[in-house]
Amino acid sequence: MLEILLSALILIGALFTFIGSLGLARLGDFYTRLHGPTKATTLGVGSLLIASMIHFSTQGDGVSFHEILVTLFLFITAPVSAHLLSKAALHLRVKSLASVPPRIDEADSGSDNR
Query: What mean pLDDT comes out for the span 4-17?
Result: 95
Residues 93, 95: Cα–Cα separation, whole Å: 6
Report pTM.
Answer: 0.73
E strands, 1-114, where?
none
The pLDDT of residue 64 is above 80 = no
Position 61 scores a pLDDT of 75
Number of Cβ within 10 Å of residue 40's Cβ equals 20
Res. 65 pLDDT band, cuts 50 70 90 = confident
Read off the pLDDT of residues 24-42 as tens digits, 9 standing for 90 and up: 888 888 888 888 788 888 8
The answer to whether 89 touches 48, Cβ cutoff 8 Å, is no
